[in-house]
Amino acid sequence: MNIEAVKSIYFFEMARTRRTLLQSVVSPVISTSLYFIVFGAAIGERIQQIDGVSYGAFITPGLMMLTLLTQCIGNGSFGIYFPKFTGTIYEVLSSPISMLEIVLGYVGAAATKGLMIGTIILITASLFVDLSIAHPFAMIFFFVLTAVTFSLFGFIIGIWAKDFEQLNLIPMLVVPPLVFLGGSFYSVDMLPPFWRAISHFNPVLYLISGFRWSFFEISDVNPLASAVIILAFLGICMAVLTWIFRTGYRLRN
C-alpha cells in the first residue's frame, strides 16, 4: 500500500474545500436554516408531531441525508472528472499507484467532506429543535456507510460523464426528487395505499428510514432492510468500479 500516494490525493482534494469554504460550509448552513424556518415554522404549526416526534426534529435526519447525498455525489464526481477534463488524470494512471489507492484518496476525501457538512447540519439543526440520538452507534454506521457508498457512486459518475451537463445530471435532477419523495419531510404511512406501495421502490426511503430510526426508533421500513440495501448498493458500486479500472472505460481514451 502506497500510503504517501493516498495521502497526496486525499490532502489535495481536501485543500479544495479550504479554497471554497464559503460554498462548502456556509451555503449548507444557510440552506438548512431556511428549511427549518419554512418547514419547521410554517408546516410545523399544522403538523405538531409525527409518531410522537416534533415535526422539526422529525425532518432533521431527512435534511442530513439530502445534504449528505448531494455533497458526497458532487464531491466524488467532480474530484475525478476535473483531472479528466484537464488531462492530469493520465499522470495519476501512469504513476505506480494501484486502483485501490486511487479510490481511497478520491473517495476518502469526498466522504470526509460529506461527513463534515452532515455534522455541521446536525449542529445547526440542534439550534432549532431538541434532538436525541437513541442509537448513536447505529447512527454513525448509517452516516459513514452512506457517505462512503455515495462518494463511490459519485466517483463512478465522474468517470462516466463526458461533459459538465452529464456530471450534474444525476446529482441535480435525480437525487433531490428521490430524497424529497423518500420520506424526508413526512412519513410514508401518511400517503394513500397506492403511493405508499410505490414509495417502497425508492431506495432513498430505506436510507432515510434507517437513519431516522437511529435517532427516534421510528422507521417506515425495517432498519435491517435499510442496512442491507446500502451494503448491496456499495457492493454494486465496487463491482462497477472494478470493471471500469480493468477495461479503462472512459479513462484511457
Are 205 and 220 contacting, i.e. CB atoms less than 8 angstroms apart? Answer: yes
> How far, in Å, CA of 141 to CA of 133, rounded?
13
Angle, helices 136-160/203-216, rounded to nearest 10 degrees: 160
* DSSP tag of 250: T
Lowest mean pLDDT among 40-44, 100-104, 175-179: 40-44
Enter the pTM of the model. Answer: 0.90
Mean pLDDT value of segment 193-204: 87
Name, of 33-37, 47-51, 111-115, the range with top average pLDDT: 111-115
State which amino acid sits at residue 167.
L
> How far, in Å, CA of 171 to CA of 179, rounded?
11
Give the mean pLDDT of the chain. Answer: 87
Are 212 and 62 contacting, i.e. CB atoms less than 8 angstroms apart? Answer: yes
Are 40 and 54 contacting, i.e. CB atoms less than 8 angstroms apart? Answer: no
> How far, in Å, CA of 138 to CA of 34, rounded?
28
> pLDDT class for 41, splitting at 50, 70, 90?
low
Whether 26 shows a pLDDT value over 90: the answer reads: no
> pLDDT class for 61, splitting at 50, 70, 90?
very high
What Å distances lie between residue 200 and 143, 187, 203, 225, CA to CA?
Answer: 21, 12, 7, 11
Higher pLDDT, 253 or 146: 146
pLDDT digits (tens, 9 = 90+) for 96-152: 888 889 999 999 999 999 999 899 889 888 888 888 899 999 999 999 999 999 999
The pLDDT score that the predictor gives to residue 125 is 84
- 128 Cβ neighbours under 8 A, 6+ residues apart: 33, 36, 40, 56
Lowest mean pLDDT among 25-34, 40-49, 208-217: 40-49
The pLDDT score that the predictor gives to residue 153 is 95
Buried b (16+ CB within 10 A) or exposed e, 176-208: eebbebbbbbbbbeebeeeeeeebeebebbbbb
Whether 253 shows a pLDDT value over 80: the answer reads: no
Q: The C-alpha cell of 35 is what?
A: 428549511
